Amino acid sequence: MLNLSKKFLQAFSVSGAENGLAAIIKEELKSVADDCIVDPMGNLLIMRKGKNSAKKLMIASHMDEIGFVVTGFTGEGFVKVAPIGGIDAIASSFHKVRFQNGLSGVLVSESEVKAADLNVKKLVVDIGAKDKKDAEKKLKVGDLCAVAPMFQRLSGSRYAAKAFDDRIGCVVSAFAALHAEKPAYDTWFVFTVQEEVGCRGSKTSAFRIMPDYGIALDVTAADECGNGSPVTKLGKGAAIKIKDRSVLCSTAIVERLSALAEDAKIPYQYEVLPYGGTDTSSMQIAGAGCAAGCISIPTRYIHSPVETIDMKDLDACAKLLIEFIEKGI
Ligand SMILES: [Zn+2]
């Protein structure tokens, strides 16, 4: 999964511009796909036939990451930007960024802004332009950028990178698609678009599939307090979601995932997240509704350029997902 992580993390995939990553994933999974659809929004849907084709399982992980869109230029040649998704100004600023056309820049605050007053409205990108005219030769309004790729091993099995949210969800899903034995049901591995701006791609893809069961793969807060105690702990295994602000997971899924983890001795923990939203909610309320849950990957510093995970948790999430795909409810 390390190799898949490195490969997926290199792609430019700001919300609305996920086609580069979709092409990489499609190529990776073509050998196991019984069906493959890229829908009008850009969602990538890959199906593996199951033992029981009367039921459908949808696995959702989102390809997009937060970033910025160019809104204009200052006289001095700085690039004005607006956020796409939940940007934290302090976490994002004074980092290298990469535009979709390959151009590099650094995300900084407007010169007169003190650190304490920093917010997303005060961020600009310095691309080294001499003046406005020079900047306009290199970029136009509507161009996208994100923090430049970074992937760093820390100690042991812990790694830091930008956009682990939700590239590692895509990694777990792709790994399961490649390595699961015959699925219990027809299983749709869906790599969704525009999650960071309101779980949009999962709405249309869930409507298309109308699954009986849905499992999302996404990151969740680790070692950070929810209601006085950490939501999850790094290194303590796959997190079975109970709720976030968008969803109350179906108890049938929570119970089944817990039983599968117990039986296969996969380390797991429960996640009760007081904020946030995931593609789980779209699947649960698509059409006439389905039984939906989420396997979350504990992650520190979410939406910063140094999101940190423990690969052992990733292994646990993949094992648990494979168990569910093979055995079903
Ligand atoms: Zn996410």
Q: Concatenated DSSP letters for 195-259? A: -TTTSHHHHHHHHHH--SEEEEEEEEEBSSBSSSSBSB-TTS-EEEEEEETTEE--HHHHHHHHH
Is 195 among the residues known to form the active site?
yes
Burial class (CB in 10 A: 0-12, 13-18, 19+), 132: middle
Task: State which fold the 2-65+163-327 domain adopts.
Answer: Aminopeptidase (3.40.630)
DSSP-assigned letter for residue 113: -
Q: How far is the CA of 218 from the centre of ligand 1 (A)?
A: 5
DSSP-based helix, strand, coil % in the chain, nearest 5: 30, 35, 35
CATH 1.20.1540.10 fits 67-147, yes or no: no
Q: What is the pTM of this model?
A: 0.95
State the span(s) of the chain assigned CATH 3.40.630.10. 2-65+163-327
CB 183 within 8 A of CB 48: yes
Collect all residues with Cβ–Cβ distance below 8 Å to 259 and sequence separation of at least 6: none
* Residue entry with tokens 């204009």: 72
Spell out the per-residue pLDDT of the chain, length 329, in tens. Answer: 999 999 999 999 999 999 999 999 999 999 999 999 999 999 999 999 999 999 999 999 999 999 999 999 999 999 999 999 999 888 888 899 999 999 999 999 887 666 667 777 789 999 999 999 999 999 999 999 999 999 999 999 999 999 999 999 999 999 999 999 999 999 999 999 999 999 999 999 999 999 999 999 999 999 876 566 778 999 999 999 999 999 999 999 999 999 999 999 999 999 999 889 999 999 999 999 999 999 999 999 999 999 999 999 999 999 999 999 999 99
Q: How far is the CA of 76 from the centre of ligand 1 (A)?
A: 36
The pLDDT value given to residue 119: 77
E-state strands within the chain: 35-38, 44-48, 52-62, 67-73, 79-84, 95-99, 104-109, 123-126, 144-147, 151-153, 158-161, 185-192, 213-221, 238-244, 247-248, 268-272, 291-299, 307-310
The pLDDT value given to residue 261: 98
195, 196, 271, 307: the catalytic one is 195
CB 280 within 8 A of CB 294: yes
Q: How far is the CA of 169 from the centre of ligand 1 (A)?
A: 8
State the span(s) of the chain assigned CATH 2.40.30.40. 67-147
Amino acid at 171: V
Considering only CA atoms, give the Rg of the chain.
20
Residues 276, 195: Cα–Cα separation, whole Å: 11
Per-chain residues with Cβ under 5 A from ion ligand 1: 165-166, 218
Q: How far is the CA of 219 from the centre of ligand 1 (A)?
A: 6
Q: How far is the CA of 300 from the centre of ligand 1 (A)?
A: 13
Calculate ∠ Cα 172-193-164, nearest 5°: 40
Burial class (CB in 10 A: 0-12, 13-18, 19+), 37: middle
